[in-house]
Amino acid sequence: MKLQKTALIAGASGLIGSQLLPLLLASDRYAKVIAVGRRPVPMVHPKLEQRVLDMDQLEQHRLSLIADDVFCCLGTTMRQAGSKEAFYKVDYLYVVKLAALTAANFAAQFMVVSSMGADAGSRMYYNRVKGEMEQAVRQTPFRAIHFFRPSLLLGERTEKRAGEQAGTVLLRVLNPLLVGPLRKYRPVAAATVARAMLRAAEDDGGGIRVQLSDEIAAGSGWRK
């Protein structure tokens, strides 16, 4: 029996989102997939409904954000954003606002890409913002919230990030040495993260759950 649910994805044009969108469209779980973003994705599908909107005006589009499962793949870098304020807007404000609005619309589950090292008490600005985002999202009344904390991501980006590219090459070389507690630092393919996000939704569990990079790659269990 096919489930007639609706999925909503934000950030479908990004590295993970572009891998996740086709999985959602192919899944029998969903009768409709809503893609929310600043620009349309170059895809046509009978299940797909695109909402091109200004993320700063997200509240004005609340009635367009009704779904059962919400997949948040929003994210940028300090260099790409251009300032701490712009980075904070994308990686904290937009994510938390999306969570609050969709929870108010009675969405059941929220799957969000965070980062390895997310910690609201971190001295590193990037990790601190990710940690603060997680803290805020934890307060929203979803039946289930899933945080994915990948290490460096493998995959072809539309924009090149020199620092990530260099780090990925280095970690690939060191990969065989990253064992035991160091396994969480292994890079993981964006497609693998996308599959883990869909698998989490299909699990239909409850509570707040976290997956680190090695757990995402292995498809292993959750931690709270």
- State pTM to two decimals: 0.88
pLDDT single digits (tens) 4-39: 899 999 999 999 999 999 999 999 999 999 999 999
Please report whether residue 78 resides in a domain: yes
Q: Are 110 and 103 in contact (CB under 8 A)?
A: yes
CA angle 149, 155, 160 (to 5 degrees): 100
pLDDT single digits (tens) 199-211: 999 999 999 999 9
Please report whether residue 53 resides in a domain: yes
| 3-state SS, residue 186 | coil
Total structural domains within the chain: 1
Query: What DSSP character marks residue 71?
Result: E
Please report whether residue 186 resides in a domain: yes
pLDDT in tens for each of the 224 residues of the chain? 456 899 999 999 999 999 999 999 999 999 999 999 999 999 999 999 999 999 999 999 999 999 999 999 999 988 899 999 999 999 999 999 999 999 999 999 999 999 999 999 999 999 999 999 999 999 999 999 999 999 888 876 455 545 555 555 545 555 554 455 556 667 889 999 999 999 999 999 999 999 998 899 887 555 55
Please report whether residue 223 resides in a domain: no
Start-to-end C-alpha separation, the chain? 31
Domain of residue 96, residue span: 5-218
Measured distance CA(216)–CA(187) in Å, rounded: 10
Please report whether residue 100 resides in a domain: yes
Please report whether residue 206 resides in a domain: yes
Query: Which CATH number fits the domain that encloses residue 196?
Result: 3.40.50.720
Please report whether residue 224 resides in a domain: no
